[in-house]
Structure 1
Amino acid sequence: MAGQHRRKAARILATATAALTVAALAGCAGGSGEVNSDYGFATADQEDGSTITVWVDAAREPVAKAFEEANPDVPISIETYDGNAGGSGSFQTKVALFDQSGEGWPDVVFSTQTNDASWAAKETNGVQAFAAPLNKGYFSDDFLAGFTDGANDPMTVDGSVYGLRNDLAPVVLWYNQKLLDEFGYEIPTTWEEYEAMGEKLAAEHPGYILGSIGDSFVGTYVYYWGAQAPIFALDGNTFSSDFDDPHSVAMTELLDGMAANGTLVQDSVFSAPFVENYSDKIVAMPGPAWYAGALFQNPDSVNAEPGTFGAADPLYWEGEDEVTGNVGGGVWYASSHSKNLDAVETFLEFATSSEESAELNSGLPAYDEAASTWLDAQAESAFFAGDFKAAVQKAAGSVWGGWGFPSFSPETAYAAVVVPALAEGKTIADVVPEWQEQILNEAQVQGYTVE
């Protein structure tokens, strides 16, 4: 690993000759009060060989264990948590408690959310920001340049990169080649064709589906983001949510229509009922690239037969930009309070760029070399029908840039308002005002100026 060979001895301690005193940081908890010129932030006194604590969700635990096996000389304590899934806020809540006590911070944290940098990069009540800036000397420019263009943009604040993207999660159109052949259907390329397929499928093959709207990440990121619906937009500190935009209205109507004819269901794609009732009835379904491993190759989920499913180019509105949504793509954060930053660096390089991590990733790695390894492995396995690699690569470069990354998740409002409304037999259109109000209230609570 490059991190193991980069002036390690000189970077063990923030010495007086390698640091600049910054009065504004002198009282910050967890740091030395001096900016280490090698790292670009105030570091804690370094303890070479000390154990690093790494927080991961269950899906990333194998990567952490692979690192432990490959680096027996690096002491590591692996702890699992919910990964901040669904915008739970657990990451921020736990860090706030450590900020109050002035100790206990983990060295590395994985989060499923791409918006944590909005708070993790900020000093809180005089305590240095949890997330360490990574492009001020901590990681080499060559290493950072290895990430896919734009991959780390959501974690970039005022020119500083505060997190490393684990994987890209662009939305593609998953399709069941065997069912399409059996029914004589073509792969839809636009939202309009997708909607028309829903009407045709409902009439000719009731019980077969084109997806689910029962997950908060699907309703928001897959459909509304993919539709260029500006319901979650951020400009500086100004947040806006426009459900009257034609793209927003059209997507709401599409979802309500397909839910009414039964081609969109309410079961979570990760639920037992979905797996039991619909695994062999999915004709097509827009979803993130990581469905590859999380659903279709997962023995506890859809567990499809090789050659059944393929990935096609993302859906778009006819005559408009060919863009798509994005569902997460986890992020690795390094703690600015860590006492073993060299070990943290070694771990993060392994987790994001190594061949081992690429092989364990369920989705498209954000690091280019790892992405190539992953895509080639998928192609060589011949598990997916069609040109899987081309579709995923196109989607990765087509994510719509109008979606915002504030300090809260769009998933919480969808889960609180839309999901229970659907269960009660209401339409999305019925609760749009309440849904929008919930989003705007969350923005206000977080301190944003609301339009």
Structure 2
Amino acid sequence: MRSDSPRRTRSWHRLATAAAAAALLLTGCASTGGGTATAGATHAFQQVEQSPGATITVWVDSTRLPAAKLFQKEHPDVPVDIVTYDGDANGASTFQTKISLFDKAGSGWPDVVFDENTTDLGWASTGKTPFAAPLDDGIVPKSVLDQFAPGALTPCTNGSVYCLRNDIGQNVLWYNKTLLDKFGYQVPTTWEQYQALGAQVAKEHPGYTVGAVGDSFASYIYFWGAQCPANTLTGTAFSSDTGSPKCVQMAKLLDTMIANGSVTKDAVLTGTKYATTYGGAKTLMLLGPSWFGQYILNAALKVPAGQIAAAPPLKWAADTTATTGDVGGGTWFVSSHSKNLKAASAFVQFETTSPDVQADAPTYPAYVPSAKLWLANPANTKYFATDVAPAFTAAAGEVWPGWSASGLVNQQNIWSTTVMPAVLQGKTIESQLGAWQTEARNLAPTVGYTVTK
């Protein structure tokens, strides 16, 4: 166990499973002997000649650096060379660019890479010799893969499972419980109730907001959650149907709420306008990922502790179950060129499943046992007015599979460059659905997809 973090002085996470998990990683669970494809694998994976004592090179961003060093500390018998890089954050393409250079040179590949860009699966898992090793081909046990949240490994799957998800950003309904109680409002459970409450807020409490559409990932929150098939990928077959009923329904809902002022066109993450206008106590509700609570409502908007709560994802009144989108969540790749797959496998499993790493990780773990420990850690939840575990847990299993998070058609870019400029000029989102669809369909062939609709 780490002793250098004050959180580690707490006894709540000192579980027997920690020692068992650590022992399991470097024993039989990281089997790499056979190379026999599992049911999900697209081909039999041919390993390079293995050298069990070989040093593994791992690429991590600065946030993951302490966890990488912790692996070194807890596994001194495993030689690890840690290299820090940008993690492909904020639209960078460092990962792909450098791997392309190593492919040309025929050497130099890292054994493990942390990546913030879920769309890298498209190139990393394809080609004559894909960079990514199929983890479900004897590298990571099925018993481990099966314990990730439902749908969490979808952005890692292209026939085989090519990466492990570090964390997820499942969308929930954030709300200011103090204000909601003061105003006498009920937490909505359907999109229709959400719209009706927005109209009530606009009339009775103008100046308060219940949502924002200005961020590049707004479509991930509203349209992904509403089951809009704007970004569907099956193999290399791509379709975008923004004219479908649920896309139009969501567009109309947002247009109505923008018109009455309950939903703002401002961006939460960029610029200062949103924070200036709605910081403190003017954000009544905000749809967004699980990390919004600590990093936006707490750190950025400075809402006092004990006011913010989270509700499960919304659903359409006609639907029996809710669905949601996913904003964020890093991944870990193991290189198909690695000469020490056992150590590489042990490393990525440690980073994604170890209680020592994930129980007090910055964001919600994708691995279900770790997520339970994360939610049990007071440091992650004491800011909130109520227990966020029910909402987070429900949302983690309700990410809609009909939106391809790993696709190479950049939906965030389309929203920012095609949809929002028109909306900021006074046009409706509904009027831009056709332009959105056209842009997506035009981009698909440029990244190797065949457009089917």
Please, what TM-score do these two structures have when normalized by structure 1?
0.84
What is the distance in 1 between the residues matched to 2:28 and 2:173?
A: 43
Residues 213 and 267 in structure 1, CA contact (< 8 A), matched pair in contact too:
yes
Deviation, 1:392, is 1.4
SS of residue paired to 2:211: coil
Please list every run of 5 or more consecutive structure 1 residues that lacks an aligned counterpart in the other structure: 21-34
Comparing 422-431 with 201-210, greater Cα deviation is found at 422-431
Deviation, 1:381, is 4.5
What is the distance in 2 between the residues matched to 1:152 and 1:261?
A: 39
What's 2:83 paired with?
A: 78
Please list every run of 5 or more consecutive structure 2 residues that lacks an aligned counterpart in the other structure: 1-21, 37-43
- The verdict on how the C-alpha distance between 1:65 and 1:426 changes in structure 2, with shifts beyond 3 A counting, is farther
Matches within 5 A, 1:253-332: 253-273=252-272, 274-280=274-280, 281-297=282-298, 299=299, 301-320=300-319, 321-332=321-332
Opposite residue 359 of structure 1, the aligned amino acid is A
SS of residue paired to 1:174: strand
Residues 151 and 397 in structure 2, CA contact (< 8 A), matched pair in contact too:
no
What is the distance in 2 between the residues matched to 1:19 and 1:394?
A: 36
What's 2:15 paired with?
A: none
What is the distance in 2 between the residues matched to 1:422 and 1:319?
A: 28
Opposite residue 108 of structure 1, the aligned amino acid is V
1:246 is the counterpart of 2:245: yes
1:108 is the counterpart of 2:112: yes
What's 2:41 paired with?
A: none
Deviation, 1:353, is 0.6
What is the distance in 1 between the residues matched to 2:365 and 2:76?
A: 25
What is the distance in 2 between the residues matched to 1:180 and 1:357?
A: 36
What's 2:163 paired with?
A: 163
SS of residue paired to 2:359: helix
1:3 is the counterpart of 2:25: yes
Deviation, 1:238, is 2.2
Opposite residue 375 of structure 1, the aligned amino acid is L
What is the distance in 1 between the residues matched to 2:132 and 2:146?
A: 20
Matches within 5 A, 1:41-56: 41-43=46-48, 46=51, 48-56=53-61
Residues 132 and 336 in structure 2, CA contact (< 8 A), matched pair in contact too:
yes
Opposite residue 107 of structure 1, the aligned amino acid is D
What is the distance in 1 between the residues matched to 2:356 and 2:425?
A: 46
Residues 68 and 82 in structure 2, CA contact (< 8 A), matched pair in contact too:
no
What's 1:361 paired with?
A: 361
Residues 118 and 330 in structure 2, CA contact (< 8 A), matched pair in contact too:
yes
- The verdict on how the C-alpha distance between 1:379 and 1:54 changes in structure 2, with shifts beyond 3 A counting, is closer
SS of residue paired to 1:109: strand
Opposite residue 41 of structure 1, the aligned amino acid is Q
- For the aligned residues, what is the CA RMSD? 2.8
**Cα-to-partner distance string for 1:222-281 (whole Å, 9 max, x where unaligned):** 100111111111234321111211111111122222223332233332235133432321
1:98 is the counterpart of 2:102: yes
Matches within 5 A, 1:27-426: 40-43=45-48, 46=51, 48-56=53-61, 58-71=62-75, 74-86=79-91, 88-123=92-127, 126=128, 128-158=129-159, 160-217=160-217, 219-273=218-272, 274-280=274-280, 281-297=282-298, 299=299, 301-320=300-319, 321-378=321-378, 381-404=381-404, 405-426=406-427
What is the distance in 2 between the residues matched to 1:414 and 1:7?
A: 43
Deviation, 1:92, is 2.8
Deviation, 1:431, is 2.8
Deviation, 1:413, is 1.4
- The verdict on how the C-alpha distance between 1:234 and 1:381 changes in structure 2, with shifts beyond 3 A counting, is closer
What is the distance in 2 between the residues matched to 1:144 and 1:331?
A: 13
Residues 52 and 343 in structure 1, CA contact (< 8 A), matched pair in contact too:
no
SS of residue paired to 2:242: coil
